[in-house]
């Protein structure tokens, strides 16, 4: 028994030393980024780190535990690189987005409570908060927040990540908005906002998107009544940038039905518990 505990003490010392060393390296990364005026948060890199660890993981400890520890490490170390505040949507009586934010970004960042999604968007737009945590878009929401996300550039907030980074696929999801650069992680999804100019069924819109070359994962509408002219949020496979020829094709091939779509961000695919 004593021998086991001595071994555990030695391992703890090594883990602690390595974490302190990792924090020093991340501090250097932070200094380098400040010199370059580069944005601190890199969701694509974070996803790659998690995927690499998941692929090599073995032994009796469930990967969910490793994922949680690494989210704490990465979240807290991101905060060391620059001052972060996170605006979190916290509807009365529902702390799910708060928990998702804390689990993802660690104990260090300050979380600010916002009672509406619009208020989260404003906080990130006017730089009161670095990041915003918003609910996954709900069907039937008459005033969905995504319609106010302008486009995927570095100046206005866009969707950059999905929470949780690891978990069952039916877990409640949140989306993170920030003014961060677009970066592909190798396994990504993107969000397009598409304006329909006349009455068109969802099936027709989806087949148009397919014909333009997109693989559609999910769609929701700004209106309670899908089919009427209006805005549609379409989640597609892969990393899509503003200059993607498929965006142009969707409008060009259906000029009376579909306006020029815009990209409002996307996210690296989270790891899924098998
Ligand atoms: O690789 C970087 O750019 C880092 O800043 C390091 C690090 C990390 O802790 O591994 C921290 C924040 C970024 O979002 C991604 C990764």
What ipTM did this prediction achieve? 0.99
Ligand 1 pocket member 79 (CB < 6 A):
no
Residue 50 above 60 pLDDT?
A: yes
Task: Report CA(239)–ligand 1 centroid distance (Å).
Answer: 20
Ligand 1 pocket member 45 (CB < 6 A):
yes
Task: Report CA(164)–ligand 1 centroid distance (Å).
Answer: 17
**What architecture is domain 188-272?**
2-Layer Sandwich (3.30)
For the segment 220-261, what is each residue's pLDDT rounded down to a tens digit?
A: 988 877 778 889 999 999 999 999 999 999 999 999 999 999
- pTM comes to 0.94
Quick one: pLDDT at residue 153?
60
d(CA 146, CA 144): 6
Residue 152 above 70 pLDDT?
A: no
Q: Where are the domains of the chain?
A: 188-272
Distances (CA, A) of 145 to 75, 102, 139, 174: 25, 22, 12, 12
Phi, psi of 273 (to 5 degrees): -70, 130
Quick one: pLDDT at residue 272?
86
**Residue among 207, 208, 210 nearest 255 (CA):** 208
How large is the angle between the packed helices 63-81 and 96-105, nearest 10 degrees?
A: 80
Ligand 1 pocket member 78 (CB < 6 A):
yes
Average pLDDT taken over every residue of the chain:
93
DSSP per position, 200-263? --HHHHHHHHHHTT--EEEEEESSSSBTBSEEEEEEEES---TT-HHHHHHHHTSTTTB---EE
Ligand 1 pocket member 235 (CB < 6 A):
no
For the segment 153-187, what is each residue's pLDDT rounded down to a tens digit?
A: 656 899 999 999 998 888 889 999 998 777 899 99
Summarize the confidence of residues 179-198 as an average pLDDT: 92
Task: Report CA(170)–ligand 1 centroid distance (Å).
Answer: 28
């Amino acid at each position: 028994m004593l021998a086991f505990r001595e071994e555990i003490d030695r391992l703890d010392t090594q883990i602690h030393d390595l974490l302190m060393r990792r924090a020093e390296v991340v501090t250097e990364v932070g200094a380098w980024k400040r010199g370059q005026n580069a944005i601190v948060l890199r969701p694509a890199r974070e996803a790659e780190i998690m995927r690499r660890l998941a692929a090599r993981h073995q032994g009796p400890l469930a990967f969910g535990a490793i994922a949680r520890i690494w989210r704490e490490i990465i979240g807290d170390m991101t905060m060391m690189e620059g001052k972060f505040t996170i605006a979190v949507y916290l509807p009365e009586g529902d702390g799910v987005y708060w928990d998702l934010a804390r689990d993802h970004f660690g104990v260090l960042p300050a979380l600010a409570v916002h009672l509406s999604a619009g208020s989260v968007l404003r906080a990130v737009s006017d730089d009161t908060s670095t990041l915003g945590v918003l609910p996954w878009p709900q069907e039937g929401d008459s005033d969905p927040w995504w319609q106010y996300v302008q486009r995927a550039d570095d100046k206005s907030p866009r969707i950059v990540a999905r929470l949780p980074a690891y978990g069952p696929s039916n877990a409640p999801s949140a989306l993170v908005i920030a003014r961060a650069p677009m970066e592909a992680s190798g396994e990504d999804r993107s969000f397009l906002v598409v304006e329909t100019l006349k009455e068109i069924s969802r099936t027709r819109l989806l087949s148009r998107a397919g014909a333009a070359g997109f693989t559609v994962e999910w769609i929701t509408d700004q209106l309670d009544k899908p089919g009427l002219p209006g805005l549609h949020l379409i989640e597609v496979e892969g990393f899509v940038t503003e200059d993607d020829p498929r965006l142009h094709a969707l409008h060009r091939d259906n000029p009376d039905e579909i306006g020029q779509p815009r990209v409002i961000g996307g996210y690296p695919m989270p790891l899924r518990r098998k």
